[in-house]
Structure 1
Amino acid sequence: MSSAGMGRRRVLGAGVAALAATLGGCTGGSAPERRLRLATGPEGGPYNAFGKALARAVAASGRGPRLVPVTTAASVDNLRRLHEGTVELALSMADVAEDATLGRESFTGPVTTMTALARVYVNYTHLLVPADGPVHDVGDLAGRAVAVGAPGSGVQVVAGRVLRAAAPAGSGVEAPGERALGLAESVGALRDGAVDALFWSGGVPTPALAELARERPLRFLPLDARVDPLRERYGPVYTAVTLPAGVYGLSAPVATIGVGNYLLARADVPPDIIRDLLRVVFDQWRDLLREVTAGARLEPRFAISTGRVPLHPGAAAHYRSVYG
């Protein structure tokens, strides 16, 4: 065997050994405890809330391994960790997962270890500004400071794409000043006047934004005109959705950009573990989604819509066995 072939076998062997150690880590007794690390997002964010709720639901069910939620910067960070093998499960926005599958933009090559378990709910893109300010459209953000999400987050990806489309390179339009801030920092910066606008991608309502809307009048900018250009360039991961009247004190609906969220796993997680995990997800979806967004449902025809990201064999087997 060539030295290159032996090297590949050593790498694969190390990966399998690491996974086996994670799934069979000893708890101090004779019986090993199986556990899976789930990359979520920052503390207080919807991914972190979903991950903790899922971990509780799995523990209560007695099915499958113990889930260990891992606090992260969110989507991009999560998929890099999944690729490196430092976590076995991850949450990610659909557009970032597509980028990882194709090896584009934030990823230097395809993340071939990634598989999908389910599309669990939709993020709504929020773009908000002070109601008494001069900004009424994305184009009005030229030269202004805009909070675009934390480094390594999915909101940073969609915000950057929207802003680059509004001020393309070489157009002569001054680009907005992008500030990489997490949600709490973004809210504080908008409140203090340190930024002129705030992007966020999450469930509806997002508590931090609802609290800010109670403190001061806000304007939520429509983004529906940006959906088709995004779909033409990046595919159907982007959809048209609407922030309903009443939420955040809105007097009328605001059309914006929707992006799905995927629950993902490394391909080398055993299929039986994935099937047990999905049984819990579908049994407890009402409680899980209550943590992150109002009025959402999890249905099989929705869940299997994971675009270019292939389903894990265990997930495919689960859907076949339950839904035919």
Structure 2
Amino acid sequence: MSLFRWFCLAGVAAGCAISSASFAAAENMDRFFLLGAGEVKGIYFPIASEICRSINRHSLAHGWRCGIAASSGSKENLQQLEDGTLTFAVIQSNIALSSSSIDGNQPLFKTVASLHSEPVHLLVQARSSISSLDDLGRALINIGDQSSGTRDIALSLLDAAGIKKEDYQLLDYDAGSQAGRLCDGDVDALIWVSGIRNSSTAEAYRRCDVRLLPIPIAIAAKVMQQMPGLLPIVIPADTYLGQTVEVSSFGPVAQVVASANAPEELVALLTRAIVGDLGDVRPSHPALSNLSQADLRRMLSNDVK
């Protein structure tokens, strides 16, 4: 099992009357679970933080406490779900579809909710001679950690574009350092799958002159055909400081999933923290800002409504 960092956000209960039901719940406060997020500078982490914060705020009432497990991304989260370390995780929809069962029969997890879309961000310095996907031959390309969901999509994208493996060099800087590496000239291009207005891309736009390159529709279609769970996405103009035109792309949808063994009462509790009487996940990140409460409710899994 790979190492990971986890953070427990304590619930707050002060200056209020506690009912007998709350006392009973408080006696069972050892009911603790972990929610797998991604890198701290990614979007999954603040989403997971908000969900845990909502649950822990009411922990005296229901007796559960939630902790956040930071990770390198969807693939590590999936591994942690499988070995029982995590009870819930945020993962990419394409990874969810390709890994929905252990042996073809036994479900590995159940989907709780679908959240925001996560376009491929292909980013270069503005002064770079790279003007399209076809120009990535002989480039130093950062595609993130080997346990991240970005890597599989990036490799499929390069293959669909007809760029041979021997013609480029792959790097694995994480989300926290990749913007600085691009601006310092240590990498020629970033391929990064994340929600709109993610902090890593925003940091690159703040630190130096950069450009988002469009993904040609025909090439995106090839990747989507090979990898179910991806969809066309447009990054709107003015999403990032200095980005004046919309950019065509594609990518997965972020999904909250539960271990197949998660108690039904806990799955229902998490649903209420995503959109319900316990909380609302939408303020946690701008990537979710365009979703209405009705949108979130429509995207809740039929298994947990």
TM-score calculated relative to the size of structure 2: 0.81
> Counterparts of 1:155 and 1:110 in 2: how far apart (Å)?
27
Residue number in structure 1 paired with 2:207: 215
Is residue 115 of structure 1 aligned with residue 115 of structure 2? no
User: In 1, distance between residues paired with 2:226 and 2:135?
Assistant: 23
1:131 is aligned, of 126, 129, 135, to 126
* Alignment partner, residue 43 of structure 2: 46
Question: Could you tell me whether the CA contact under 8 Å between 1:167 and 1:175 is conserved in 2?
Answer: no
SS in 1 for 2:56: helix
Q: Distance in 1 between matches of 2:95 and 2:70?
A: 18
Secondary structure of 2:221's counterpart equals helix
> Given the alignment of the two structures, is residue 259 of structure 1 paired with residue 252 of structure 2, yes or no?
yes
CA distance 1:279–1:203, change in 2 (3 Å)? same
The 5 Å alignment of 1:288-299 reads 288-290=283-285, 292-297=287-292, 298-299=295-296
Q: 1:110 & 1:162 partners in 2: Cα distance?
A: 30
Specify whether residues 210 and 167 from structure 1 end up closer, same or farther in structure 2 by C-alpha distance, changes over 3 A only.
same
* Conservation of the 8 A alpha-carbon contact between 2:126 and 2:211: yes
Greater shift, 44-53 or 93-102, is seen at: 93-102
Paired amino acid for 1:217: D
What residue is the counterpart of 2:233 in the other structure? 241
Alignment partners' CA distance in 2, 1:114 and 1:175: 39
Count of aligned residue pairs for this structure pair: 272
Partner of 2:204, secondary structure, is helix
1:3 paired residue number: none
Question: Map of 1:28-107 to 2, 5 A cutoff?
Answer: 31-62=28-59, 64=62, 65-101=64-100
Task: Summarize the alignment of residues 309-320 of structure 1 with structure 2, pairs less than 5 Å apart.
Answer: 316=303, 318-319=304-305
CA distance in 2, matches of 1:293, 1:133: 32
RMSD: 2.4
> Helix, strand or coil for the counterpart of 1:182?
coil
Distance 1:279 1:35, change over 3 A: same
Residue aligning to 1:151: 146
Closer/same/farther in 2, CA of residues 60 and 246 from structure 1, 3 Å limit:
same
For the pair 1:160 / 2:152, whether they are aligned, the reply is no
The answer to whether the 8 Å contact 2:180/2:204 transfers is no
In proportion to residue count, which structure has more helix? 1
Q: 2:191 aligns with which of 183, 186, 199?
A: 199
Moved more, 208-217 or 51-60: 208-217
Counterparts of 1:288 and 1:267, CA distance in 2: 28
User: Which of 163, 167, 178 is the aligned partner of 1:186?
Assistant: 178
